[in-house]
A and B are shown apart, each in its own frame.
Chain A
Amino acid sequence: MATKIKPEELLQTINLKPKFKNWMDVPVEFRKGTFNYAGSEEALIYLDQPNPRKWQTTDPDWKLPENWKEIILEGLRERLEKFRSLKIFMDICVRCGACADKCHFFLGSGDPKNMPVLRAELLRSVYRREFTTAGKIMGRMVGARDLTFDVLREWFYYFYQCTQCRRCSVFCPYGIDTAEITFLTRELMNLIGVNIDWIMTPVKNSYRTGNHLGIQPHGMKDSLEMATADIEEITGIHIDIPLNKKGAEVLFVTPSADFFGTPHYYTFLGYVMLFHEIGLDYTFSTYASEGGNFGSFVSHELMKRLNNKIYAEAKRLKVKWILGGECGHMWRVIHQYMDTMNGPADFLEVPRSPITGTVFENAKSTKMVHICEFTADLIYHGKIKLDPSRNDHWHATFHDSCNPSRGMGLIEEPRYIIKNVMRNFTEMPDNTIREQTFCCGSGAGLGTDENFEMRMRGGFPRANAAKYVKDKYGVNICLCICAIDKANLPHLFEFWAPGLEVGGVHEMVGNALVMSGEKPRETDLRFQPLINQEV
Chain B
Amino acid sequence: MGLGISFIYFAIILFLAWIAGVLPFLKVFFTTVIPYVALVVFIVGVIARIIRWGRSPVPFRITTTCGQEKSLPWIRQNKLDNPSSWLGTLGRMLLEILFFRSLFRNTQAEFRGDRLVYSVDKWLWFFSLAFHWSFLIIFLRHFRFFTEPIPSFVTFLQNIDGFFQVGLPIIYITNILIVAGLLYLFLRRIFDSKVRIVSLPSDYFPLLLILGIAATGILMRYFFKTDLVAVKEFTVAILSFQSVSGDLINKLSPLFVIHFTFVCTLLIYFPMSKLMHLGGVFLSPTRNLANNNRMKRHINPWNYDVPVHTYEEYEDEFRDKMKAAGIPVEKEV
Taking a contact as CB atoms closer than 8 A, the residue among B302, B307, B317, B325 that contacts A221 in the complex is: B325
Distance in Å: Cβ of B122 to nearest Cβ of chain A: 12
Given contacts A96-B128, A174-B284, A373-B72, contact A364 B194 (CB under 8 A): no
Pair B66/A170 contact, Cβ less than 8 Å: yes
Beta-carbon nearest neighbor of A411 in chain B: B68
Number of interface residues of A (CB under 8 A): 121
Complexed CA–CA distance, A333 and B108 (Å): 31
Pair B281/A173 contact, Cβ less than 8 Å: yes
Complexed CA–CA distance, A437 and B48 (Å): 39
Q: Check A533 for interface membership: any CB of B closer than 8 A.
A: no
Residues of B within 8 A of A216 (CB): 318, 321
On chain B, which size bracket covers the interface? 35 or more
Complexed CA–CA distance, A436 and B297 (Å): 27
Given contacts A115-B198, A411-B68, contact A287 B297 (CB under 8 A): no
Listed stretches A67-75, A336-344, A445-453; interface member: A336-344
Pair A308/B298 contact, Cβ less than 8 Å: no
Interface 0/1 of B95-133, CB less than 8 Å to A: 010001011011111110011101000001000100000
Q: Check B332 for interface membership: any CB of A closer than 8 A.
A: no
Taking a contact as CB atoms closer than 8 A, the residue among B193, B298, B306, B321 that contacts A218 in the complex is: B321
Residues of A within 8 A of B325 (CB): 217-218, 221-222
Most interface-central of B75, B272, B318 (chain A CB within 10 A):
B75
Residues of A within 8 A of B114 (CB): 11, 464
Q: Check B231 for interface membership: any CB of A closer than 8 A.
A: no
Pair A409/B69 contact, Cβ less than 8 Å: yes
Pair A358/B62 contact, Cβ less than 8 Å: no
Distance in Å: Cβ of B154 to nearest Cβ of chain A: 29
Given contacts A95-B198, A115-B198, A175-B284, contact A221 B65 (CB under 8 A): no
Residues of A within 8 A of B128 (CB): 96, 173
Residues of B within 8 A of A396 (CB): none
Pair B102/A408 contact, Cβ less than 8 Å: no
Q: Check A16 for interface membership: any CB of B closer than 8 A.
A: yes
Distance in Å: Cβ of A179 to nearest Cβ of chain B: 9
Distance in Å: Cβ of A433 to nearest Cβ of chain B: 12
Pair A92/B277 contact, Cβ less than 8 Å: yes
Complexed CA–CA distance, A360 and B39 (Å): 53
Residues of B within 8 A of A301 (CB): 306
Complexed CA–CA distance, A83 and B53 (Å): 9
Residues of A within 8 A of B72 (CB): 358, 362, 373, 376-377, 380, 413
CB contacts under 8 Å to B, within A428-447, are 429, 431-432, 434-436
Complexed CA–CA distance, A465 and B116 (Å): 8
Beta-carbon nearest neighbor of A103 in chain B: B109
Complexed CA–CA distance, A84 and B59 (Å): 8
Residues of A within 8 A of B296 (CB): 365
Pair B294/A91 contact, Cβ less than 8 Å: no
Interface 0/1 of A107-144, CB less than 8 Å to B: 10000100101100100000000001110000001110
Taking a contact as CB atoms closer than 8 A, the residue among B56, B111, B199, B299 that contacts A95 in the complex is: B199
Q: Check A76 for interface membership: any CB of B closer than 8 A.
A: no
Residues of A within 8 A of B155 (CB): none
Distance in Å: Cβ of A228 to nearest Cβ of chain B: 13
CB contacts under 8 Å to B, within A79-107, are 80-89, 91-98, 100-102, 107
Pair B327/A287 contact, Cβ less than 8 Å: no
Q: Check A20 for interface membership: any CB of B closer than 8 A.
A: yes
Residues of A within 8 A of B106 (CB): 98, 171
Q: Check B326 for interface membership: any CB of A closer than 8 A.
A: yes
Pair B281/A92 contact, Cβ less than 8 Å: yes
Listed stretches A240-248, A270-278, A521-529; interface member: A240-248
Listed stretches A151-159, A309-317, A383-391, A486-494; interface member: A309-317
Pair B198/A121 contact, Cβ less than 8 Å: yes
Q: Check B71 for interface membership: any CB of A closer than 8 A.
A: yes
Pair A20/B295 contact, Cβ less than 8 Å: no
Distance in Å: Cβ of B282 to nearest Cβ of chain A: 10
Q: Check A29 for interface membership: any CB of B closer than 8 A.
A: no
Most interface-central of A81, A143, A245, A460 (chain B CB within 10 A):
A143
Complexed CA–CA distance, A172 and B128 (Å): 13
Beta-carbon nearest neighbor of A48 in chain B: B307
Q: Check A401 for interface membership: any CB of B closer than 8 A.
A: no
Distance in Å: Cβ of B180 to nearest Cβ of chain A: 17
Residues of B within 8 A of A94 (CB): 203, 274, 277
Taking a contact as CB atoms closer than 8 A, the residue among B78, B299, B317, B318 that contacts A340 in the complex is: B299
Pair B61/A286 contact, Cβ less than 8 Å: no
Q: Check A416 for interface membership: any CB of B closer than 8 A.
A: yes
Q: Check A368 for interface membership: any CB of B closer than 8 A.
A: yes
Complexed CA–CA distance, A154 and B199 (Å): 19
Residues of B within 8 A of A97 (CB): 192, 194-195, 198
Residues of A within 8 A of B115 (CB): 464, 468
Q: Check A305 for interface membership: any CB of B closer than 8 A.
A: yes
Q: Check B240 for interface membership: any CB of A closer than 8 A.
A: no
Distance in Å: Cβ of A124 to nearest Cβ of chain B: 10
Q: Check B291 for interface membership: any CB of A closer than 8 A.
A: yes
Given contacts A92-B277, A175-B64, contact A208 B194 (CB under 8 A): no
Complexed CA–CA distance, A209 and B58 (Å): 33
Taking a contact as CB atoms closer than 8 A, the residue among A96, A100, A305, A413 that contacts B71 in the complex is: A413
Most interface-central of B81, B103, B286 (chain A CB within 10 A):
B286
Given contacts A11-B114, A98-B103, contact A365 B297 (CB under 8 A): yes
Beta-carbon nearest neighbor of B103 in chain A: A173
Residues of A within 8 A of B66 (CB): 170, 406, 409, 435
Complexed CA–CA distance, A82 and B100 (Å): 28
Pair A166/B64 contact, Cβ less than 8 Å: yes
Residues of B within 8 A of A365 (CB): 294-297
Pair A134/B272 contact, Cβ less than 8 Å: yes
Q: Check B70 for interface membership: any CB of A closer than 8 A.
A: yes
Distance in Å: Cβ of A242 to nearest Cβ of chain B: 10
Taking a contact as CB atoms closer than 8 A, the residue among B63, B124, B200, B294 that contacts A98 in the complex is: B124
Residues of A within 8 A of B102 (CB): 98, 170-175
Given contacts A101-B109, A413-B71, contact A180 B62 (CB under 8 A): yes
CB contacts under 8 Å to A, within B206-223, are none
Beta-carbon nearest neighbor of B81 in chain A: A435
CB contacts under 8 Å to B, within A298-349, are 301, 304-305, 308-309, 312-313, 316, 334-337, 339-341, 343-344
Pair A335/B297 contact, Cβ less than 8 Å: no
Q: Check B283 for interface membership: any CB of A closer than 8 A.
A: yes
Distance in Å: Cβ of A466 to nearest Cβ of chain B: 12
Residues of B within 8 A of A286 (CB): 318, 322, 327
Q: Check A19 for interface membership: any CB of B closer than 8 A.
A: yes
* Beyond known contacts A100-B194, A142-B202, A174-B102: 5 more, CB 8 A cutoff: A84-B57, A98-B106, A171-B103, A221-B325, A435-B66
5 contacts between A and B (CB under 8 A): A24-B1, A87-B52, A96-B195, A407-B62, A409-B66
